Amino acid sequence: MENKNSFVKHTIGKIFKYISHHIPLLILSLLLAATIVVSTLYIPVLIGKAVDLFIYGAGTVDFDALFKIMIRMGIVILITAVSQWVMNTINNHITYHIVEDIRNDAMNHLHKLPLSYLDRQSNGDIVSRIVADVDTFADGLLMGFTKFFTGILTILGTLGFMIKTSPIVSIVVIVITPLSFFVAKFIATHTHDYFQSQSKIRAEQTALIDEMIGNQKVVKIFAREEAVKEQFNEINKRLHDSSLKAVFYSSLVNPSTRFVNSLVYAGVAVVGGFFVIKGFGDGNVAALTVGELSCFLTYANQYTKPFNEISSVITELQNAIVCASRIFAFIEAEPQIPDAEDATVIENVSGNVSLENVEFRYVEDKPLIRDFSLDVKPGQRVAIVGPTGCGKTTVINLLMRFYDVRDGAIKVEGNDIRNVTRDSLRGSYGMVLQDTWLKAGTIRENICMGKPDATDEEIIAAAKAAHSHSFIKRLPNGYDTVIGEDGGMLSQGQKQLLCITRVMLCLPPMLILDEATSSIDTRTEIRIQKAFAKMMQGRTSFIVAHRLSTIKEADVILVMKDGNIIEQGNHESLLAKGGFYANLYNSQFAV
């Protein structure tokens, strides 16, 4: 229980940090809430006076006094309505600005997170936190602003008016009211865990949906539709059960507090009625008039109504706090090590790269790369080959500083890349991966992503060099054709050609080609290899390939196995050696 309370306090503290940016508007909202409460509580007083005019008028009614009361009521009602509208507008403004700030912080933090964090989390879970959880939090926060503060002020204000009207009858209200707090606290304690479970299962469901939508072709190829349905149904069933339990417990709050409220009302009616009768009998100073009793009964209703609203608000706030804790956990996730204040911005890179006794592991007790050393001269083409899982792509990740080495150093132009700004380091590389990525937008926007100010002539020249110009011109609107997320209806080969074109346009001093032609037909691949040869002239290039026929022209071929370089040389020398590379190369032609 103590851990849960500290968890809630921590989350609420985070929420108040965002609210603190809107203190003036929050104060104005509270003042308006107070105005609404006072004006709402003043109306029963006027009604009570009007009732007394009829009952105690000695057979006549003072219509002039009654008319003045009606005018006053109209003014108070108008003030209440205008104040309510302005307060709701302010609360919406505060809530959605806070939501905007939280989403901005989450999106900004996303770009600061290390790849190791993103590798451990499902895309659907992250999407659920930033979208669904923030929406739920917004609903709870808005309800909290709109009903919670007004409810608290209504309770305090009503209690004050009742004590002023009749302190003795007010005691009945004060004695019975705490039952509502005990009921609400008991139920709220049980609902928190269910709402937390509900939020986690919802994220799991979102992750599955996101995964299935992105990989629907694979699902259909392997006839996994029924298995996926069963998996979804199982998650859906758990979400149903968790939601049902959360709603069941939370729905108990309203009828329970209504029962207590009815007791309050009945107590006021009985005790107040006694004083009314007593007043008719002997004019006792503690007695009530009929108008005051009607006013008091109205106050009893107004006093108990916020307890119902607050109890439902507490349920919503619990759900909101759970969702807020998930998004704050994401925002507070350990970011990647920031660039040092004195980090070097490397310029005029010629392509000197060295790896000195590099060691790396993804999992603490499973070393992957050990004592890896390499010295690459400007303009050299370095090919990295080896069986799956030997560490080829890991070397690329280390070169780009997607991960930092555990020991040793990687240097560019003699600078340890841990002392170089990431932007200048990555800006020195052009990278084409096996897995393509294209954003929703035009062909032109996707090509000039790395060079936004490129002219049409430069874009077309890059497309021709990458052999993508011909298929782009066949598209409905050429370079202005809009493609969907991740390339839309383009073939995998066409997507990869666009990614190659993107690098052709920038032509950085160093290149990384990780299975860059894996999705291109053989005929196109020959032309691409020629384009690559031209592009790589004078540029340090790192080439990862499974098809060894594509790396024959490399200056240095590194043969990796289990994270170590076991052979090194050019194509001819490695074949002549008759070792691991020769066996790997000849296995391509084995029948």
Per-residue pLDDT of the chain (591 residues; tens, 9 = 90+): 445 556 667 788 888 888 888 889 888 988 888 888 888 878 877 777 777 777 665 556 677 887 888 888 889 889 989 998 998 898 888 888 888 898 899 888 888 888 778 777 777 778 888 888 888 888 877 777 667 777 777 777 777 777 776 677 677 677 766 666 666 666 666 666 777 777 778 878 877 877 777 677 677 766 778 888 888 888 888 888 888 877 777 667 667 666 766 676 666 666 666 666 655 445 444 456 666 667 767 777 666 666 666 666 666 777 788 888 888 888 888 888 888 888 888 888 888 899 888 888 887 777 788 888 888 888 888 888 887 777 788 888 888 888 888 889 999 988 999 898 988 888 888 888 777 778 888 899 888 888 888 899 999 998 888 888 888 999 888 999 988 777 777 887 788 888 888 888 888 888 888 876 666 677 767 766 776 777 777 888 888 876 666 677 788 888 888 777 788 888 888 888 888 888 877 776 654
pLDDT, residue 190, reads: 64
Q: Is the pTM of this model over 0.85?
A: no
Show me where the domains of the chain are located. Answer: 15-331, 353-589
Q: CA 492, 493, 498, 501 torsion: positive or negative?
A: positive
- The CATH T-level fold of domain 15-331 is ABC transporter transmembrane region fold (1.20.1560)
Mean predicted lDDT score pLDDT of the chain: 79
Measured between its terminal Cα atoms, the distance across the chain in Å is 67
In degrees to the nearest 10, what's the CA dihedral of 11, 16, 19, 24?
Answer: 170
Bridge-based pairing of strands 441-442 and 429-432 is unpaired
Which class for 580: exposed (0-12), middle (13-18), buried (19 or more C-beta within 10 A)?
A: middle
Phi, psi of 350 (to 5 degrees): -95, -20
CB distance 331 to 111 below 8 Å? no
pLDDT, residue 286, reads: 46
The string of pLDDT tens digits covering residues 54-72 is 766 555 667 788 788 888 8
pLDDT, residue 86, reads: 92
CATH architecture of 353-589: 3-Layer(aba) Sandwich (3.40)
Q: How far apart are CA 86 and CA 32, in angstroms?
A: 8
Task: Find how far residue 439's CA is from the centre of its chain.
Answer: 20
CB distance 39 to 155 below 8 Å? no
